[in-house]
Chain A
């Protein structure tokens, strides 16, 4: 009992980190149908942008915003310059997977070439005083991270439900050609989707590093597994499902790790993913489980 509550607390913080990334992943996959395995490397780029700014004395929260902006621009550029042209050339779902893995290799090992294999951490990060809540122990920084995640989720909710952009995004996700015929500028909506998911990805890169305190060039690729597990668990294209999925994956992971070893945290995510894929591949909230065409 004594270690279970702190483990749950840790799980909640992880869930917050995970939710930001998983919502971005699921939005982009749900709308464009590109299984973007380079998502993790954009996350790593976000972490590096914040790191480079932070070691030059920029405030970490400003660096976080910059990482979000950087992630957004890089994601949209990747789609405009690489993914969309390949899709227009007729690279199917599979071709696109190979394309995204190539991009992942180029970005990730490009970063390794530039920065080496060392572990890095943001300078001058103060974890703040510890705060006890219901037997769980948080640092002030962890609570701020959870706060950022909650705010990000609320913003996503407001965008999707109450703006014309959100409506158009949901329409494009459901039926792109019908949306186009109904006057939705799908091209711009797709751009907006990549921007939004890239921003979430960049932000999550920074919050992730703030949470686990050190990182190297593989951080995104490692985290991608749990991101995918959350997104699939929630149902691809379902932002609320991804939030729920992140919560489940993170809590299950940290509880299992509490009773066994921290190494099994990731393995839990994997088991959950496989179980979901077998039992309910459409996820908790989604209705659709059939392959679609790539949308550009």
Chain B
């Protein structure tokens, strides 16, 4: 293997990790809480911009090169955490506005519009994140401290991204089986019943928005610190749809399916054509890729709506949640009079 190909492989691994983290976030919002967040990519962008302006240092350093807000130079894990926090915070704000009041198909509409307008705003408010030109020279974490060669650093970053993905995977599985996860699925499957059982449906959805938003922000930070540039064209509306397609292809409501979907759609389908010999004029392959993403989604929705790895129906007794156990167990005398714990 030559060095160029090795570098490309490492890049693919990082892309896989970024898409996987983001898709798991979207999965929580869409498959668990039933929120059609067509603006998901905006929260990834928010995380990416946060990580960028917290590592770039003041914009006066190279005079007139680029302008942006904040401009701090914070050490390694802080920008990452801040990116996740910003993603969660923005998602919550949008969630409070969109989820509480709106009829559910209007929500999708509001999200679509948000996605387009966020691009508009960032492009036009040049002082915010350098407008259309975007940010460049974003530092990668610990690049100087580790003292690795260019190629080795890429592999180190790939490993770090995969470790993060594994962590997120674990957290998502744990959350999915936790009482919160049960509430998410209950709300998705039957909103009225969940509400009747005392679940605050709006708050349950909001928590899914926040967790999903945090993962979106995190994925943005991991991506931007690797590719070191970020501009409005990096997060156009169709990018959100790639994540939806991954969920639909892989299978809704389970993290293994999400990983499989990410491997199939953004990696194989969207990166694969770069192995094919060039054909047509420039840009033709890119256009056709999007056509294929649309077609694949339709085909899967028609022939295999539950995806490659369908969500398994769960049995109640598998849950170790105290609330449910209390509901299932015959009441003891001391429990009488109070609500189930």
Contact = CB atoms under 8 A, between A and B. Distances in A.
Nearest to A262: B124
B113 A225 contact: yes
Interface in B79-133: 97-98, 101-106, 108-110, 112-114, 116-117, 120-121, 123-124
A274 interface: yes
A278 B109 contact: no
B104 A291 contact: yes
Q: What is the interface residue range for chain A against chain B?
A: 35 or more
Given A86-B301, A91-B301, A105 B241 contact: yes
Nearest to A226: B113
B163 interface: no
Interface stretch (B6-14, B210-218, B287-295, B316-324): B287-295
Nearest to A115: B287
Chain A interface helix/strand/loop/mixed: helix
Contact of A278 (B97, B104, B238): B97
A281 B101 CA distance: 8
Contacts of B102: 277, 281
A117 B283 contact: yes
A270 B113 contact: yes
A261 B124 contact: yes
Contact of A105 (B120, B123, B293, B301): B293
B101 A101 contact: no
A253 to B, nearest CB: 12
By CB atoms of chain A within 10 A, which of B97, B98, B294 has the most? B294
Chain B interface helix/strand/loop/mixed: helix
A98 B248 contact: yes
B105 A97 contact: yes
Nearest to B240: A101
B241 A113 contact: no
A290 B291 contact: no
A246 to B, nearest CB: 16
B113 A93 contact: no
A102 B103 contact: no
B148 to A, nearest CB: 39
Contact of B238 (A33, A105, A273, A281): A105
B121 A113 contact: no
Contacts of B295: 102, 106
A226 B295 CA distance: 27
B262 interface: no
Interface in A100-143: 101-106, 108-110, 112-113, 116-117
Nearest to B101: A278
A86 B288 contact: no
Nearest to A105: B294
Interface in B263-320: 281, 283-284, 287-291, 293-295, 297-298, 301-302, 305
Contacts of A99: 297-298, 301
Contacts of A291: 103-105
Interface in B195-242: 237-238, 241
Given A266-B120, A267-B121, A35 B294 contact: no
A278 B98 CA distance: 8
Given A94-B104, A274-B97, A281-B103, A101 B117 contact: no
A96 to B, nearest CB: 8
A105 B291 contact: yes
B141 interface: no
Contacts of A270: 113-114, 116-117, 120
Given A82-B298, A86-B301, A229 B241 contact: no
B121 to A, nearest CB: 7
Contact of A266 (B112, B117, B238, B288): B117
B325 to A, nearest CB: 33
A101 B115 CA distance: 14
Contacts of B248: 98
A93 B117 contact: no
A99 B245 CA distance: 11
Interface string A213-249: 0000000011001001100100000000000000000
A229 B123 CA distance: 21
Contacts of B291: 105-106, 109-110, 113
Contact of B103 (A95, A110, A290): A290
5 contacts: A82-B298, A101-B38, A103-B298, A109-B291, A264-B124
The 10 A-B residue pairs whose C-beta atoms are closest, nearest first, are A105-B294, A109-B290, A113-B287, A106-B294, A263-B124, A270-B117, A112-B287, A102-B294, A102-B297, A109-B287
Given A86-B301, A105-B238, A105-B241, 12 more contacts: A33-B105, A82-B298, A94-B36, A94-B108, A98-B297, A98-B301, A105-B293, A113-B284, A228-B113, A267-B117, A274-B110, A278-B97
